[in-house]
Structure 1
């Protein structure tokens, strides 16, 4: 549910209670880019109630043209200036602020794969459900947007409990976005960088532990996690409308690859491209069809850990007859193709169908391919 109130002309407060019941495929293991962006929010058939967002938003208008922000979830209708500063403080998702995309963002109504929610290799600070607490600032300058934030991290990687020592453990991000038009058709390009600080495992240390203790087939990362580490990454995102009904997008990202995953997916580099087509051409203007291709990869440090017999949170394999001597996986980049169609049934109710084809799941050519078909109904009231 989405609650909001305007405390003053440029001051809003929002609260989103959420309830989820979910049993993810394979216990949420066995893939780098999982098939459902909502599947991380709980693990069990019993419904879980919690706060997803509780934040304050303050807008400081400067000179510029008037812009109307239409009424939407977590947005009360508001007239702002094209030049403005926006501060968001409280509980929210890092992805609420960063890496926005018109064509590939929301797994409820667009593509479902994790690699289409954001850059798969973007290890953004969040609890196990994808939310955190922090402060974010946005500076709008006509066609430019500068964004920065600091968010708190989980106490342990991919954990639900958060570490409130924001000066000792944190996730920082900075993004520059440039909006443009080509032949009156909108597009934009953005560059995003992050730096995390947290007690994390370096894969080289975990690999050394595996070999020294003959601990193959275990989560050895849990035995050598005792020092604060920095983890960094950078990526680029672009999108462009080609016609009034057809748009394309692409994302590419790389992380340093020395340390384990803090909050998101098991990937150190990722690239995704796709297109979205509105149904106006077949007299269904509220329908959309999307097609995407993704490739996810691992750094040599994470790969060496897995090939030495290590198990991580989401990936890792026992010895395969197809692997090389002393290797538990035969490494290949994970490749995902996704196609979705969303149809408007009645006002505010969408029916979606989705198909994903995955080669080399969990970066092992001895696995797969895997085909996942799904459907969903999305309603807003």
Structure 2
């Protein structure tokens, strides 16, 4: 097994034991005028041997171990009633398996598309949120990361603008949305076909509005795409942009809370069509390459996202989505259609109230044109084995146990089974194991 675990990681790991202690100094007054939170997460992940008859530039390599670390500061202030200004500087270090390549439903959402041996500092979020109360019963808002404690009206308007993650507002799910505390797989924490605008670290600049009215919420957003697909630099003037729309309905089923969300996106920018890339590659006798045929066009998609508590300790969730499979994905990953079904169980039944077990099954697919493109040597956002003579759907199962030995500190054991990584029946199946340490206050 090849291991990459630099000495700098050991120093960063010490923060896991310091962060929970720092929670004692956190001001939880109501309403909060300011707050400071922090988190540190380390993931060590490895994959064993599997069938590997050939490789391309974006293939998953067998028998390797990698680690990632991120340490984030969440500092917020309330300049006036309903307003919140937040800044999230973050230190990152490490690499995903095969430098975050080889599987469309990549096994670690803690692994960014940019990996480095030494820790580096980035400003991941800098945003302002204004909440305008309309009417309805007031409820308490618990202090949390990027949330100031206080109260809010049931019916309200929320405006968020600046730099933040689209997943902070859209496609959320209480059981599967945070790789620092629940599932790790990219296509479990978000709908795999939701090609949301983001830089290589998963953040964008833009504005989102939310209207809460009774059991309903309507959300809309406008965000910058990256300058080139899967790029590190975002547009600044919405020259290439994404529009997001989401409708959410909250309900009680058997006395237990649940929600249904329908999300749609529209990307507008310079994208390549697979059939154009195939035609040009055949004419030139070269591998297909969408970067050579990009022109201004539109790519759209939609998904449905369900969460439902069954009992006070057991919850179910499901997602399904699709996107235009004739055009290359832009900023997320190589998935044109996806479906997932999973469950989360609290440990109260065995005397461990703060522990959790999670299990999810995911099937990801791509269009016929997308398959032909990969078989012609094309490279996607994350996948590309150089050829794809026997395409198949990626089938992924993930299970985790999250153990909380003390408040503010979690240890998670995670296992993933990946059949047909990169949609290739010739490769895999891959067995992926991970250990996650997370501390926060």
Structure 1 length normalisation: TM-score?
0.95
- For 1:42-61, list aligned pairs within 5 A: 42-61=114-133
| Alignment gaps of 5+ in structure 1 | 320-327
The equivalent residue for 2:36 is none
Q: CA deviation at 1:313?
A: 3.3
Aligned length: 369
Write the deviation string for residues 89-146 of structure 1: whole angstroms up to 9, x where unpaired.
1010000000111100000110000011110110000101000110000000121110
Task: Tell me which residue corresponds to 1:301.
Answer: 369
C-alpha distance in structure 2 between counterparts of 1:49 and 1:42, whole Å = 13
Q: Aligned partners of 2:190 and 2:96: how far apart in 1?
A: 20
1:211 aligns with 2:277: no
The 5-angstrom pairing of residues 258-269 of structure 1 reads 258-269=326-337
Is the 2:95–2:112 Cα contact (8 Å) retained in structure 1?
no
| Alignment partner, residue 147 of structure 1 | 219
**d(CA) in 1 for partners of 2:142, 2:88:** 19
Deviation (angstroms), 1:261: 1.6
Between the aligned partners of 1:170 and 1:220, the Cα distance in structure 2 is 22
1:200 matched residue in structure 2 = 271
Matched residue SS, 1:210: helix
**Bigger relative CO (Cα 8 Å, ≥ 6 apart):** 2
- Structure 1 distance, partners of 2:381, 2:255, is 46
1:15-26 mapped onto 2 (5 Å cutoff)? 15-26=87-98
User: SS in structure 2 opposite 1:63?
Assistant: strand
Deviations 1:250-305 (A, max 9, x none): 00000011211211011100111100000000000000000000000001221121
Equivalent position of 1:135 in the other structure: 207
Q: CA deviation at 1:48?
A: 1.9
SS in 2 for 1:340: strand
Post-superposition offset of 1:310: 2.0
Match of 1:105 in 2: 177
**1:352 Cα deviation after fit:** 0.3
Report the 3-state secondary structure (helix = DSSP H, G, I; strand = E; otherwise coil) of the residue aligned with 1:277: strand
1:310 to 378, 383, 386: 378
* 1:220 correspondence with 2:298: no
What stretches of structure 1 move > 4 A for 4+ residues in a row? Answer: none
Cα distance change, pair 78–248 in 1 and its aligned pair in 2 (3 A): same
Structure 1 contact 158–264 (Cα < 8 Å) conserved: yes
Partner of 1:378: 438
- In the TM superposition, 1:163-174 aligns within 5 A as 163-166=235-238, 168-174=239-245
2:107 aligned counterpart, secondary structure: coil
Aligned to 1:39: 111
> What is the CA–CA distance in structure 1 between the aligned matches of 2:110 and 2:269, rounded to whole Å?
25
The Cα of 1:72 is off from its aligned counterpart by: 0.2
Match of 2:60 in 1: none
What SS is found at the alignment partner of 1:281? helix
Whether the 8 Å contact between 1:20 and 1:41 is mirrored in structure 2 is no
CA RMSD of aligned residues (A): 1.1
Aligned counterparts of 1:76 and 1:90: Cα–Cα separation in 2:
17
The answer as to 2:413 corresponding to 1:353 is: yes
- 1: CA distance between counterparts of 2:377 and 2:93? 33
Q: Distance between the aligned counterparts of 2:87 and 2:386, measured in 1?
A: 45
Deviation at 1:41, TM superposition (A): 5.4
Q: CA deviation at 1:318?
A: 3.4
Q: CA deviation at 1:213?
A: 1.1
Contact residue 258 and residue 299 of structure 1 kept, 8 A: yes
Using the size of structure 2 for normalisation, the TM-score is: 0.82
Mapped pair 1:365 → 2:436: no
Structure 2 SS opposite 1:103: coil
Provide the secondary structure at the position in 1 that maps to 2:373. Answer: helix
